[in-house]
Structure 1
Amino acid sequence: MEEKDLYFTVNAVNMFHGIKPFKIGSLIKLVKEPENNYDSEAILVELRYAGPSGYVANSVKTVAKGTYSGGRLYDKILNVDYAQVKFIVDETIIAKVLSKNELEKEKENSDSDIHFMI
């Protein structure tokens, strides 16, 4: 059975480096932050060369239509998981969680940043 694609919105990028480090196809490391003082379902977004770069959106005001909020995504991913940027429109970044098979394909790709992120 095919897993449902999990798309989510990245926000809070201005707390870090802004939108500039994000490119379509960029690999993202997702790290759950259960000890986060503001949101117990916070999911940190990290980029290889930039480090911490944003959070998965978790507010009705910041989640793009048709994407998962951090709260809805939280129990569907591992404590550390991986995603890939699929769309960037203005200041909105939408990424897709990589399935186990997609992650394996990224590992096989010698040009992939995933080796350095795991």
Structure 2
Amino acid sequence: MEKPSEMNTLSNIMEKLRLKGLDDEFTLSDHGKLQSPKTQKIYNPDDLTIIKTFRFEGESDPSDSSVLYLMEDAAGNMGYVIDAFGAYSNHEGPAFDDFLKKIPVTDRDEQELFK
């Protein structure tokens, strides 16, 4: 008999990332690129790969929806970006969405990421 999968919340995933030392939240810089606050490294879309996407929905309010993109650079450094989902995005204008669309995507197994 299959064991039911654990329900993940944003705070649950954030804690797992913190415990693995993956608590580098990338931000969109004034130059329209992602930047690591820890290293001050600035990334173009082709410098990163989205390795896992987590979507979270509020129980009753669509404005509670969010998405966490876990990313990795060519050197194996990981960070993430959190955004409200859809029309409720934290970023004005199309720059953030356009940047994300240019990042290659793979889908790593969550258990592999957090083992």
Scaled by the length of structure 1, the TM-score of the pair is: 0.34
- Larger RCO, structures 1/2 (Cα 8 Å, 6+ apart): 1
Scaled by the length of structure 2, the TM-score of the pair is: 0.34
* More helix per residue: 2
* More strand per residue: 1
Q: Which has the larger radius of gyration?
A: 2
